[in-house]
Structure 1
Amino acid sequence: MGLNRGMGSGVTCSVENNDAMEVIDMSTHQTFVIVGGGLAAAKGAEALRANDFDGDVVLIAGEDRLPYERPPLSKEFLAGKQKIADFTTHDADWYRDNKINLRPGTRVESIDRGAKTVTLPDESTVHYDKLLLATGSSSRRPDLAGIDADGVHLLRTYDEAEALSKALESTEHLAIVGAGWIGLEVAASARGRGVEVTVIDPAELPLRTALGPEMGEVFAALHRDHGVDLRLSTSADELVVEGGAVTGVKLSSGETVSADTVLVAVGAAPDVALAEQAGLDLDLGGVAVDSSLRSSDPDIFVVGDIAAAQHPILGERIRVEHWANALNQPAIAALAMLGQDAQYENLPYFFTDQYELGMEYSGYAPTYDKVVVRGDLDRREFVAFWVDSAGSVLAGMQVNIWDALDDVKRLVAAQSAVDLVKLADPDVALGDL
């Protein structure tokens, strides 16, 4: 007997057996469904097969393309250094060879937990024994007058990145609303293409929420040194539109910044609509899961941006919207889906590349007592540590010191006090602390 599944976009998969007498034992033959079209979804499918799951794997992706990584959209792709093939997680042959029923360009409308089905736009349903939600995030779209005008962009998908990249070919002045990671990475990429850039943000420093004022100063200086006009402590009141196209941004200060292209980059909104409709427990803006990434429904698991996971080392539930979770959480979720004991213990990690500055951050420091720096801030070659009042390292960030990250992770995981004088002394090896 044969089982064939159409997969769209030229991707097909089939499971064939010419023995007409063979009967599949449905008590053991299972179907695992993955919802999402990014790195986390692809890694979920990969991990299931790597752990010898021989049932059906159905991957339902909203975008009509193969699952891909998103960090390059604001960095290497926008800078013209990579094409989408460079950051597509697997090619079409991989899905075919691994018998993954990939359904791109298809959105899941709802989950019926009782029937254990997901409903598609044509009202057909797909049964699941286990379900993995990897729905990610979308760009926050503020209520800003003029946001629908020509020349205004958001950045979360490849199509949006491609549209912005094409616009930059003829852009003289780009205005970016938002001085977070996406906004600053796009600013760096645009400056590399010779575009004049203004960045607008109501905070007094870029990245203040993520890194605090000490490191916010470092990134402010970095961008000013590369000719970016930082308009801080002011917000965008409206976008100026003439003839249907954006021509500038009116600020709360009363000034108007001229621009022929505008990027609105004011954060990401976790896509929890399916989980909420299904009645799963929510927390921290995402879906509440335990350390094995299992939700309040024992047959539904959650990874990536939307996972608000109990962390066994940090001792609290956290939700992190960064690439490393999408890369690493699916391996743990797959083990748990297969009935094995597994916990996601990785410390939060993120990175950025802006101009000549490369950075890696590990740890979790929503509050801290002080920042201890070893190295040269002016040359942007240093390691920074966020410490609490007891002298324990909560998080660390290496900037152009590429052999320091393992020691940073070790100090964070230890959760014990260190000598802060030695911590700041580059003549004392981190490995000796």
Structure 2
Amino acid sequence: MANQQKETTVIVGGGHAAGALLTTLLQKKYQQEVILVGEEPHPPYQRPPLSKNYLAGEVDQASLYLKPRSVYENAGHQLRLGVRAEQIDRDNRTISLSDQSTLKYDRLVLATGSHVRSLNAPGADLEGIYYLHDIADSDALREELLPGKRLVIVGGGYIGLEVAASATKKGVNVTVLEAAERLMQRVTGPEISEFFYTKHSSAGVDLRLNTAVTGFEAGDQGHVAGVTLASGGTVPADIVLVSVGVVPETALAEAAGLPCDDGIIVDEFTRTEDPAILAIGDCTRHRNLFFEKMQRLESVANAVDQARTAAATLMGEEKPYNSAPWFWSNQYDVRLQMVGLSQHHDQRVLRGSPEDKGFAVFYLRDGCVIAVDAVNLPIAFMVGKTLVQQRRQVNPEMLKDPDIELKSLVSGQSIN
């Protein structure tokens, strides 16, 4: 009797979600052949260091890789790197690649991630204007960050502020232009925003809030020389980083007729409308049993958690995605750890003070802890994970009381 031919699972993408899925399948001794298609020449790698220690030159490229390429290949899996998936034929279960080859799949996982949101403004195509999304971007930007140069960062979110910290430590003169009224406004509360405003200002960063950008001025040989403001005037610049968010990469899925709405629509098992196709990571708008509605999350934690759920689905184990989202950011000597989503809170509780070595903000809605932002206070983050995951009701006075150990708050179902 002839051996039954192995089925093939194809993963499209080379970021954290794709790498976490491939690693999990290795651990689970997944029996199908796996082929990963990545547009970049690198095996799956982590992106957070691109704006931090990799940009600063403190770690090398190999340290970014989730695993060396040889680990995957020794396990019998293929990495097709430096090629782009261009079309999905769902009827025949094939994928056309940019090198004119075709792959046949039995199961397909889309981990296409996101692309940077570009700024459509006069002069946006000048030399010296950068975006930061992949290794090549970080390499190019690092070459420019020389002492005394003037870097203007458009956007005061995680990435912009992390680059500001890295560049400042290199002796670069940094200006951050943020259109909103405070830093990281989309993801955190005013106490955290104010803390980081003070931290960056003290380090010499010129922070300008409520400042919209209308274009870029050219200098010699088509190189950027300044950033023009809606309020009038120009900020001189030798280098510009535009960091105004990302857009989910859904073009491949949309062209294949898969439902998309600010992300590829998937259920709590990471399944798309097509039973043969899953999707994970930044590119998805997903059903997470932790939330009441569909969400799209841009985070490593989400990529890893969805990858684990997808691995279980591929293995025939139905384990729904039901994790509280968490995030982190390193700026100077500060580690910000966040769990939950703080939007729509109706109460904020401050534990400690921004003048302390560590402090935290707890966000409550209807008496339940829905999010925690911890600055150099890992215990608040760890306890916060439990409180948020369990939708725990806690007396606000107990949260702020320094004489009450945070660990004691996770011992009961509700603490009043």
The TM-score range, normalised by the shorter chain, is over 0.9
Distance 2:395 2:155 in 1: 37
| Aligned with 1:280 (options 255, 258, 261) | 258
Q: Is residue 2:281 matched to residue 1:304?
A: yes
Letter in structure 1 aligned against 2:402: P
The answer for the alignment partner of 1:157 in structure 2 is: 134
Moved more, 39-48 or 57-66: 39-48
Distance 2:35 2:361 in 1: 43
The answer for the alignment partner of 1:222 in structure 2 is: 199
Does structure 2 conserve the Cα–Cα contact (< 8 Å) formed by 1:381 and 1:400?
A: yes
**SS of aligned partner of 1:109:** strand
The answer for the alignment partner of 2:272 in structure 1 is: 295
| Aligned with 1:401 (options 363, 377, 391) | 377
Measured against aligned partners, the alpha-carbon deviations of 1:191-248 in whole angstroms (never above 9, x if no partner) come to: 0101110000110111011113332212211111111101110111111111211111
| Aligned with 1:188 (options 151, 160, 165) | 165
Moved more, 31-40 or 165-174: 165-174
Q: CA deviation at 1:365?
A: 2.5
Does structure 1 conserve the Cα–Cα contact (< 8 Å) formed by 2:149 and 2:172?
A: yes
- The gaps in structure 1 that reach 5 residues or longer are 1-21
| Aligned with 1:379 (options 343, 356, 362) | 356
The answer for the alignment partner of 1:168 in structure 2 is: 145
Letter in structure 1 aligned against 2:297: V
The answer for the alignment partner of 1:3 in structure 2 is: none
| Aligned with 2:231 (options 245, 253, 259) | 253
Does structure 1 conserve the Cα–Cα contact (< 8 Å) formed by 2:147 and 2:170?
A: no
CA-based RMSD of the aligned residues comes to: 1.4
| Aligned with 2:4 (options 13, 21, 25) | 25
Distance 2:12 2:69 in 1: 18
Measured against aligned partners, the alpha-carbon deviations of 1:57-102 in whole angstroms (never above 9, x if no partner) come to: 0000011122211000000111221111111111121122111110
**SS of aligned partner of 1:37:** coil
| Aligned with 1:46 (options 23, 42, 45) | 23
**SS of aligned partner of 2:85:** coil
- The gaps in structure 2 that reach 5 residues or longer are 410-416
The answer for the alignment partner of 1:417 in structure 2 is: 393
Does structure 2 conserve the Cα–Cα contact (< 8 Å) formed by 1:151 and 1:262?
A: yes
TM-score with structure 2 setting the length: 0.95
Distance 1:365 1:24 in 2: 54
Distance 1:356 1:186 in 2: 14
Q: CA deviation at 1:23?
A: 4.1
Measured against aligned partners, the alpha-carbon deviations of 1:158-205 in whole angstroms (never above 9, x if no partner) come to: 001000000113661100011111100000000010111000011011
Distance 2:165 2:357 in 1: 16
The answer for the alignment partner of 2:39 in structure 1 is: 62
Q: CA deviation at 1:422?
A: 0.9
**SS of aligned partner of 1:316:** coil
Measured against aligned partners, the alpha-carbon deviations of 1:284-314 in whole angstroms (never above 9, x if no partner) come to: x111111111111111111110121211122
Does structure 2 conserve the Cα–Cα contact (< 8 Å) formed by 1:299 and 1:337?
A: no
| Aligned with 1:129 (options 106, 113, 122) | 106
| Aligned with 1:326 (options 293, 303, 322) | 303
Does structure 2 conserve the Cα–Cα contact (< 8 Å) formed by 1:357 and 1:380?
A: no
Q: Which structure 2 residues correspond to residues 103-142 of structure 1 after superposition, within 5 A?
A: 103-142=80-119
Letter in structure 1 aligned against 2:117: R
Letter in structure 2 aligned against 1:69: Q
The answer for the alignment partner of 1:199 in structure 2 is: 176
Letter in structure 2 aligned against 1:249: V
Question: In the comparison of the two structures, how many residue pairs are matched?
Answer: 408
**SS of aligned partner of 1:432:** helix
Q: Is residue 2:267 matched to residue 1:266?
A: no
TM-score with structure 1 setting the length: 0.91
Q: 1:322 to 1:171 in 2, by over 3 A?
A: farther
Does structure 2 conserve the Cα–Cα contact (< 8 Å) formed by 1:70 and 1:156?
A: yes
Letter in structure 1 aligned against 2:119: P
Q: 1:418 to 1:223 in 2, by over 3 A?
A: same
Q: 1:122 to 1:80 in 2, by over 3 A?
A: closer
